[in-house]
């Protein structure tokens, strides 16, 4: 298994006039890699990640990102690559399930080498196992497979389905916030009662992240918030949770948690 970013040398160096402001916006490296190969017109609106500092994602979060990327291209996998793709994705999911202490499939995970594949969707599947191995056995290399995978998905869409590129980049932007929230939950040893399925908003106070608003399975909300020197996890209905957001941030939090209802179509005149 390689420990470097396999795709870094393949990234397009064209269309890089936007890179200066990418860095200014503190975009996460998962997103930056994809932005480098995507035309600026397809990028999410600035500021990326809703503003604030660059998101921080732990090693486990990168495995989740790699699997998310594999799900994104699953339908595009060439039939000739399907067995390889499925086997490596299954290895990554298994390792994520059993944890870092289980070394039963270490050798199989270490066999993940995306350079042995020629088609991008297959490479993305292989990178999931590479990233799982990074997390479980070599966390110093965390992100070394997920980052090139994100960039290569953008390259694949640009060539094969350019209309899907803007939504992919927007979803990747949002994913970085979600992975930061779940990474912080793990770091703070906080665990909501329900599964965290989305993180629609994060709040910034004095230039630092002070709040993450998360949607849980069952349509409940959870808020991880810093109160003084301590982090507190609050769960409940939308109104109960939003009541704990400071007034200065409430409008943005409520807008993210409760999107406006779709407009009804005007009735046709009889």
121-170 residue pLDDT tens: 999 999 999 999 999 999 999 999 999 999 999 999 999 999 999 999 99
Say if residue 267's pLDDT is above 90.
no
Between CA 121 and CA 236 the distance in angstroms is 39
pLDDT, tens digit (0-9, with 9 covering 90-100), for 20-36: 444 546 899 999 999 99
**CB count, 10 Å around CB of 248?**
9
Between CA 19 and CA 38 the distance in angstroms is 11
pLDDT, tens digit (0-9, with 9 covering 90-100), for 46-88: 889 988 899 999 999 999 999 999 999 999 999 999 999 999 9
Q: What is the pTM of this model?
A: 0.86
Q: How far is CA 151 from each of CA 7, 30, 120, 145, 259, rounded to the nearest angstrom?
A: 8, 8, 10, 10, 30
Residue 185 makes CB contacts below 8 A (sequence gap 6+) with: 191, 192, 196, 224, 233
% helix, strand, coil for the chain, step of 5: 55, 10, 35
pLDDT exceeding 70 applies to what percent of the chain? 86
**pLDDT in the model for residue 268:** 59
The SS3 call for residue 54 is: coil
Cα dihedral 106→110→112→116 (10° resolution): -150
The SS3 call for residue 133 is: helix
**pLDDT in the model for residue 257:** 85
Map out the domains of the chain as residue ranges. 8-166, 188-257
pLDDT, tens digit (0-9, with 9 covering 90-100), for 178-221: 999 999 999 999 999 989 999 999 999 998 999 999 999 988 99
**pLDDT in the model for residue 80:** 97
């Amino acid at each position: 298994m390689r420990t470097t970013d396999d795709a870094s040398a393949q990234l397009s160096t064209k269309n890089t006039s936007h890179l200066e402001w990418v860095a200014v916006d503190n975009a996460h490296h998962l997103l930056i890699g994809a932005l480098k190969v995507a035309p600026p017109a397809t990028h999410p609106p600035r500021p990326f990640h809703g503003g604030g500092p660059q998101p921080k994602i732990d090693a486990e979060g990168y495995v989740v990102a790699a699997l998310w990327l594999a799900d994104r291209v699953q339908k595009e996998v060439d039939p000739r690559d399907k067995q390889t793709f499925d086997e490596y994705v299954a290895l990554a999911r298994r390792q994520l399930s059993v944890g870092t202490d289980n070394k039963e499939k270490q050798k199989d995970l270490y066999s993940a080498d995306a350079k042995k594949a020629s088609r991008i969707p297959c490479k993305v599947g292989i990178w999931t196992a590479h990233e799982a191995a990074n997390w479980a056995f070599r966390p110093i290399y965390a992100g070394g497979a997920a980052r090139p995978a994100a960039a290569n998905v953008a390259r694949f869409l640009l060539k094969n389905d350019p209309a899907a590129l803007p939504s992919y980049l927007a979803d990747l932007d949002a994913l970085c916030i979600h992975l930061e929230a779940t990474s912080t939950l793990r770091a703070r040893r906080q665990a909501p009662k329900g599964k965290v399925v989305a993180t629609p908003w994060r709040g910034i106070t004095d230039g630092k992240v002070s709040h993450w608003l998360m949607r849980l399975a069952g349509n409940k909300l959870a808020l991880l918030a810093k109160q003084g020197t301590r982090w507190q996890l609050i769960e409940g209905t939308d109104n109960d949770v939003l009541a704990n957001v400071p007034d200065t941030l409430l409008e943005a939090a409520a807008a993210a948690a409760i999107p406006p209802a779709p407009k009804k179509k005007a009735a046709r005149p009889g």
